[in-house]
Structure 1
Amino acid sequence: MDWNLLGLSFATVFLSELGDKSQLAAIALSGNSKSLRAVFLGAASALLLASFLGVMLGEGVSQILPTRWVKAIAAIGFAVTAIRLLWFEADSTQSEEA
């Protein structure tokens, strides 16, 4: 296992996820909590664990599948998601107007 690549991947995923769902969950929980430290530690731990699992799973998949397959699967996944978002958004807009 390439530890430099693992560390770089982990740091990249960690930084990209900082302002994501974890931040919104921490803000929502801190409004009702008496212990802000517990909310912070819980959110930080969850983010670290999610980032770690993402990096480990990605590294494992890269060892099993060829790079070309991973790129093709990712491209197909993004294309399907984009088509579904565009297609169903147009359908829901038309049904609301009727």
Structure 2
Amino acid sequence: MDFPLLISTFLTVFLAELGDKTQLATVAISGTSNRPLAVFLGSSSALVLASLLGAFAGGSVATVIPSDLLQLVASFGFLVIGGRLLVPIFSKAEQATDGDQTPEL
């Protein structure tokens, strides 16, 4: 087994999952239930299944699309998502500065 790959994958997924909507949903469900073990087993098995699907899909896609192109498409996708998240922030800041200006006579 390739332990450096295993460790880097674990750390990447673990850090990516901290504070995301999956963890928040798990906290919310756990807060409304008195069975934390059942919530843990349900959420962890869902994450394992989603990761399994991603690993198989990634392996299948990698045989058809070159890995450099796949990384470029993924990078572009993340840039688009990040840009779409930043646009409302900048538009609100722009509206706030426009409202502070007094019209010239």
Q: Report if TM-score (shorter chain) is over 0.5.
A: yes
Unaligned runs of 5+ in 2: 100-105
Q: Which amino acid aligns with 2:59?
A: E
Structure-2 residue corresponding to 1:72: 72
| AA aligned opposite 2:91 | D
Across the aligned residues of Structure 1 and Structure 2, the Cα RMSD in angstroms comes to 2.7
Q: Distance in 1 between matches of 2:15 and 2:34?
A: 29
Matches of 1:41 and 1:83 in 2, distance apart?
35
Give TM-score, length-normalised by structure 2. 0.65
Shift of 1:51: 1.2
The answer to whether the 8 A contact 1:13-1:55 is kept is no
The amino acid that maps onto 1:46 is A
After TM superposition, give the deviation of residue 18 of structure 1 in Å.
4.6
Work out whether residues 26 and 39 of structure 1, in 8 Å CA contact, stay in contact via their aligned partners in 2: yes
Distance 1:33 1:48 in 2: 22
Which residue of the partner structure matches residue 15 of structure 1? Answer: 14
Q: Which structure has the bigger radius of gyration?
A: 2
Q: Once the two structures are aligned, what percentage of the paired residues are identical?
A: 37
CA drift of 1:11 comes to: 4.3
Deviation at 1:12, TM superposition (A): 5.8
Are the equivalent residues in 2 in contact too, given 1:30–1:36 (CA < 8 A)?
A: yes
Distance 1:17 1:50 in 2: 14
User: Given the two structures, how large is their TM-score scaled by the length of structure 1?
Assistant: 0.69
- Specify which structure has the bigger relative contact order, considering alpha-carbon pairs within 8 angstroms and separated by 6 or more residues: 1
